[in-house]
Every structure is written in C-alpha cells, then in structure tokens.
C-alpha cells in the first residue's frame, strides 16, 4: 500500500524544490502539445478566448497577476481539472501543502503560427512562467483578479430548511463549505424539517466517507465568467478531482442545475490513472445523495438566489406525436415509432405482453437508481424460467435507450459501467465513433448460444475492460411482425473458435 504522505526530502534543492521536465517526440503522428492546448480551450474557454472567462484572464494580466493570458489559462486548468488543484487543501485539511507553489515555465518561438487561437493568449510574448497554488480553484480566487469596481459580492448565507433562507441577489455568489455529517444532513432537510427515506443509508455509508463539500450558487453568466468552463458537479477523492460526473436527474427545475458549482470530496481509492474511484457503490450513493439534496434544498436555494429562469421558446420545447412515423401495427396500443425512452419502455412491455418476447421478468423501473431496471431473463439454453433472485444484487441489470449508442457516453464519463449492465434494450442501434466501444453480431461474442437472451442479435463490446453487453433491438422485431414473421428468431451461431478462445469477464453471470 502506498502511504498517504511521504517523509520529507532529506536533501531538497535550495532554490527550485522539485523540478520535473517532460520531452515529447518530434514528428510523431500525434502532436501532444497541440492536443493539450486544444483541451485547454475546450475545457476552459468553450465560448471563445475573448468572452466569459477569457475577459477575466485579461483582468489578471492588467493587475499583473499573470505575465500573459495563457499563463492564467494554464494555471486555472491545472487548479480546476488536474490533481494540482487539491480540494482538501482548499478546505484547509492539508497543512503539509501550506506554502507550496508549483512554478510552470513555457515558451514558443511563434505561438500564433504554432497554436492558432491559443497563441493569441501569449499576448505577443514568446515565453512566460506562472506560479500555481495547489488548491482547487473557486470563484473567490478568481474574484481577486477583477478590478474592485467590477467585482461581484461574496456571501456565506446558510441555505436553511428546504433552501428557503437565500434571497434574490443580482451580482453575487453564495459560498458554503460543509465539513461534518451534521452539515451534510442539512442539505437533505425539507421545508417541513423532514429527512429523505434513505437517510440511514447516507448516515452509515456516505457521510463517514465525505471529507467536505464546497457549494457555490450564482447566476449562469457570472459562473461562466468566474470559473474556467463554467460550473461543475465534481467528485474528488482525498483532494484529487476525478472525471466522474455527478448527473442530476431529480428535481423539477433542471434549468437551475448550471446555477451552482459543487465539489464533493470523499475518502476513497483512485485507479492507477488517478481519474476514477474504484468503489462504484460509493459513486452511486454520492450521486443519489446529491440528487436528493438538489431536489430538497439546492434547487429552491438557487431559484431564490437567481430568480426565475425563462425557458427557451415554447415552440422548441413542444414535442410532436401524430407526426411521428407509424409503427405499422394497427392492433398495438403504441401506434408511433419510439422517439423517447418512455416509448421504448412502453413498446418493450407491449411486445412482452403479446408474447413476442417470452422469458422476460421485470421487477420494476426507477429514475432514482443508477440503472433503469432489474429483472430475470430466461436464456436460450434454459428449460424453465429462472428463479426469483434473492436480492437486487443477483438480479440482472437492464437499461433502456432510444438508440443503443447513446449509452456509450454514459460509459465514457463513468455514469454507468458496461460490466454492470446485462442487457441494453433499444429501438435502434445508432452510430458511434468511439475507439473503446463498438457493436458486433452476437455470434462473435463470448456468449455461447445457450447464454443469449431472447431476441438478442447484437452486443456492445468494451475493448478496454473486456465487458460485453447484450443488446436487444426492437425495430427488427417490429419489422418481422409487420412482415408476418415471428418477432424473434434463433440467435446466430458463434464464429468457430471465437467464443471458446475468450475468457468470460469476472463476475459475469
């Protein structure tokens, strides 16, 4: 086990501390410098170098905090998106980092020719350096770069029960730091003083693992000015910011999601890349905790702080129903081709109810859980229906999508894990340009013919982990029924030698 802290360097360098130098190969197929700078712009300045956070960088140069805008951009990226921006240090929980500074020097003979738009941020310089404080970047840090007359106010008001203490503020941020289980529980108390049904689970399995929470509430344009890339819902582990996205699916007012910035730091182990937690159950529980907090207090607090956010033109929000393509089966309850995930769910149950999809038992659907459903499915080699699972962990995990390829983005940002999904049910396959994930005929999979679920002809392969998800497409089944053929046919025979040569991933049932 690697210790959380190492002994002090017995012979440190007098002037420079620890110096690290990287060299990249010239003439390689990938230009690492250009790729990195492209990521800087995409993450921190999505609306251009002269708008939003780009304007604040110019203030930082005027106040001589940075030698040029690129120096400010680089420092901000390091403090916001890499483990150079330590969340625990920001919370005051890492005294060993007090006084530590990272100094980065960079140069380019012709930055505009070499780096394009990013080169303009060199501000006619060819070299500069920047001192980076290894602490997570907050709006209060960026506010110091702005002239006094243009600064927005900073407040530290309690949210109150149900988020009711905050009042309308046109130019300001409300920042709260939570560092104890009692603090975390305050985010779950509704207007009537009640706590959610899962409070005991949070007390036993979530709160003891949380090191701290930093919540910043403000208007969307102001957050986009004061934070590189705008607000985030981030998860960090012992100070190290991860790539996990804390998606918000609960709450009626989703327009307020971008009105707050939050980072939740937990005591957990990271993978070798320092990008993701190894404990997926903790990730799932933290997501649920944040969703409950948003539904109970945060959405109300942001609404009170920023006021009403006018939705887009109503004509853009309305869906169409009668204009959708016909399903082509007059005796079906659902008459139109699926265009929404709810349509896919409805069509699946109708097909199952009409006997076109035998062998499926579903134990319910959920918008709260990480995955859509749990069930038990009779595979091709089963002579009888499978027994009822003893608990949720032994049930098969089922996901629904309009296009199967949409789930790939969930996998790539770790909102879901391919190894946890047994079956993906979709209307159509869709398209993907992912390097890691791809679709193929089920005959090329690790599954022998007797282990394939009814109607499955395709699977989704994760080339990185080896996980393979069976995919049930409903559109071909509908086409068969319209043509007078059985809804499902026998699965294809595996390619000789393919299935037997590959080992089944650990834990796959």
Q: What is the pLDDT along the chain (509 residues), one digit of tens a residue?
A: 778 888 888 887 776 667 777 788 877 777 888 888 988 998 999 989 998 999 999 999 999 999 999 999 999 999 999 989 999 999 999 998 988 999 999 999 999 998 988 999 999 999 999 999 999 999 999 999 999 998 999 999 999 999 998 999 989 999 999 999 999 999 999 999 999 999 999 999 999 999 999 999 999 999 999 999 999 999 999 999 998 888 888 877 888 999 999 999 999 999 888 888 999 899 999 999 999 999 999 999 999 999 887 654 444 456 778 888 899 999 999 999 998 899 999 999 999 999 999 999 999 998 778 899 999 999 988 888 888 998 888 899 999 999 999 999 888 877 788 999 999 999 999 888 787 899 999 999 999 999 999 999 999 999 988 999 999 999 999 999 998 888 786 544 333 333 333 333 444 43
Radius of gyration of the chain (CA): 26
Residues 273 and 373 in one domain: no
In this structure, the answer to whether residues 495 and 424 fall within a common structural domain is yes
The predicted pLDDT at position 120 comes to: 94
For the four alpha carbons of 154, 158, 163 and 167, in that order, the dihedral sign comes to: negative
Q: Which residue has the tokens 């091709």?
A: 380
Residue-level pLDDT at 249:
83
Do 168 and 271 belong to one domain?
A: yes
* pLDDT at residue 188, rounded to an integer: 97
CA angle 291, 294, 299 (to 5 degrees): 150
Residue 333 in any domain: the answer is: no
DSSP summary character for residue 198: T
Q: Are residues 293 and 349 in the same domain?
A: no
- Of 366, 422, 424, which Cα lies nearest the Cα of 399? 424
Same domain flag for 186 and 277: yes
The whole-number pLDDT of residue 44 equals: 94
Gap between the Cα atoms of 327 and 305, Å rounded: 46
Q: Are residues 173 and 106 in the same domain?
A: no
Tell me which of 105, 137, 169 is where a domain ends. 137
pTM listed for this prediction = 0.65
* 317 is a domain residue: no
Residue 336 lies in a domain: no
- Name the domain boundary from 280, 306, 332: 306
330 part of a folded domain: no
440 assigned to some structural domain: yes
Kindly give, in sequence order, each residue whose CB lies less than 8 Å from that of residue 447, ignoring residues fewer than 6 positions away: 459, 468, 470, 494, 499
Q: Judge whether 508 lies within some domain.
A: no
Q: Are 242 and 270 in contact (CB under 8 A)?
A: yes
Whole-number pLDDT of residue 496: 37
Note whether residue 6 is domain-resident. Answer: no
CA 167, distance to chain mean position in Å, is 30
Last residue of a domain, one of 75, 102, 137: 137
C-alpha span between 466 and 458 (Å, rounded): 16
239 and 374 share one domain: no
Q: Are 132 and 169 part of one and the same domain?
A: no
- Residue 432 belongs to what domain range? 341-501
- Quick one: the chain helix, strand, coil %, rounded to 5? 35, 20, 45
488 and 359 in one domain?
A: yes
Question: Is 314 contained in some domain?
Answer: no
Q: Are residues 272 and 377 in the same domain?
A: no
CB–CB of 258/309 below 8 Å?
no
Helix (H, G, I), strand (E, B) or coil at 412: helix
Terminal CA-CA length for the chain: 31
Q: Rounded CA gap, 42 and 270, in Å? A: 25
**Is the same domain home to 293 and 196?**
yes
**Cα 304 to Cα 160, 410, 498, distances in angstroms:** 12, 32, 60
Instruction: Count the domains in the chain.
Output: 3
Q: Are residues 218 and 297 in the same domain?
A: yes
């Amino acid at each position: 086990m690697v210790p959380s802290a190492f002994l002090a360097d017995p012979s440190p360098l007098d002037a420079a501390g620890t110096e690290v130098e990287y060299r990249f190969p010239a003439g390689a197929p990938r230009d690492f410098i250009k790729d990195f700078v492209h990521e800087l712009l995409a993450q921190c300045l999505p609306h251009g170098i002269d708008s939003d956070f780009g304007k604040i960088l110019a203030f930082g140069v005027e106040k001589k905090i940075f030698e040029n805008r690129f120096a400010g951009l680089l420092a901000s990226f390091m403090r916001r998106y890499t483990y150079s921006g330590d969340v625990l240090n920001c919370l005051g929980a890492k005294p060993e980092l007090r006084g530590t500074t990272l100094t980065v020097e960079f140069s380019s003979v012709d930055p505009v020719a070499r780096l394009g738009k990013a080169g303009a941020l060199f501000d006619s310089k060819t070299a500069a350096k920047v001192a980076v404080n290894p602490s997570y970047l907050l709006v209060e840090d960026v506010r110091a770069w702005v002239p006094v007359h243009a600064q927005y106010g900073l407040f530290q008001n309690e949210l109150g029960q149900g988020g009711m203490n905050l009042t309308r503020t046109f130019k300001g941020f409300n920042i709260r730091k939570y560092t104890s289980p009692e603090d975390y529980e305050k985010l779950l108390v509704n207007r009537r003083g009640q706590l959610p049904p899962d409070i005991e689970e949070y007390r036993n399995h979530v709160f003891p693992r949380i090191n701290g929470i930093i919540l910043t509430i403000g208007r969307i344009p102001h957050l986009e000015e004061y934070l590189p890339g705008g607000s985030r819902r981030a998860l960090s582990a012992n100070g190290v910011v991860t790539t996990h996205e804390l998606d918000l699916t609960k709450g009626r007012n989703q327009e307020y999601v971008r009105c707050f910035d939050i980072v939740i730091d937990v005591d957990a182990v990271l993978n070798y890349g320092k990008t993701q937690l190894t404990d997926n159950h903790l990730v799932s529980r933290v997501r649920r905790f944040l969703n409950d907090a948003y539904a109970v207090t945060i959405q109300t607090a942001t609404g009170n702080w920023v006021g009403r956010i006018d939705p887009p033109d109503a004509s853009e929000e309305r869906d169409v129903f009668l204009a959708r393509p016909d399903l082509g089966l007059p005796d079906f309850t659902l008459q139109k081709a699926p265009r929404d995930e709810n349509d896919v769910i409805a069509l699946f149950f109708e097909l199952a109810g009409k006997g076109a999809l035998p062998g499926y038992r579903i134990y319910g659907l959920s918008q709260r859980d990480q995955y859509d459903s749990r069930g038990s499915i009779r595979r091709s080699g089963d002579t009888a229906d499978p027994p009822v699972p003893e608990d949720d962990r032994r049930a098969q995990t089922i996901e629904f999508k309009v296009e199967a390829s949409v789930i790939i983005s969930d996998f790539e940002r770790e909102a879901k894990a391919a190894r946890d999904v047994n079956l993906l049910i979709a209307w159509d396959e869709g398209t993907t340009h992912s390097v890691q994930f791809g679709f193929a005929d089920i005959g090329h999979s690790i599954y022998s013919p007797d282990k394939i679920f009814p109607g499955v002809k395709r699977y989704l392969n994760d080339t990185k982990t080896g996980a393979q998800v069976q995919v049930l497409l409903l559109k071909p089944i509908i086409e068969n029924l319209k043509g007078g053929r059985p809804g499902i046919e026998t699965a294809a025979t595996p390619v000789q030698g393919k299935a037997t040569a590959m080992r089944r991933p650990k834990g796959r049932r």
